[in-house]
Amino acid sequence: MNFSETPITFVILGITILASLAAFNNKELKSNWLFNPYLVKEHNQWYRAFTHAFIHSDYMHLGFNMYVFFGFGLTLEQVFTDPVLWTMTFPEIPFWGVLKGRIIYTILYVGGFLYAVVPALRKHSSNPS
């Protein structure tokens, strides 16, 4: 794989690695980027719903997640952007094009971590601790 074939996966990998490394070295930054349902609701810190996805607890967590994401992300982005792979995977659904495939792949990624915060936000938004 190269960057031109799967740019979204490589960009997400880069952002995640850089954000996690920055947070490892700056506890205040990590604290400001982690998801906290109470702060999201009471102080309108909605950015935390996004930034938490790029922060990992330690090097092992980061390494394992990036390894899995690299393998899975490259494959998924290829399926979404290659007409032959798309047709083999989803023969009943017409291919929508490379640009739309990349947009949908990105929406799927972002939607995954946003969907993950909904239960915590509903359950813990009134709990300051």
Question: Percent of the chain having pLDDT more than 90?
Answer: 90
Residue 125's pLDDT is 86
Are the CB atoms for 30 and 36 separated by under 8 Å? Answer: no
Across 69-89, average pLDDT:
94
Q: What mean pLDDT do residues 95-119 have? A: 93
Q: Is residue 129 part of a domain?
A: no
**Percentage helix, strand, coil for the chain under 3-state DSSP, each rounded to 5:** 75, 0, 25
What rounded mean pLDDT belongs to the chain? 94
By residue range, what is the domain housing residue 16?
7-124
Instruction: Please check the confidence at residue 68 and state whether its pLDDT lies above 80.
Output: yes
Q: Which of 66, 52, 50, 2 is nearest to 23 (CA)?
A: 52
pLDDT the model gives residue 2: 80
Give me the residue label for tokens 């990590």. 30
Number of domains in the chain: 1
1 part of a folded domain: no
| Mean pLDDT, residues 25-54 | 95
79: nearest Cα among 101, 63, 59: 101
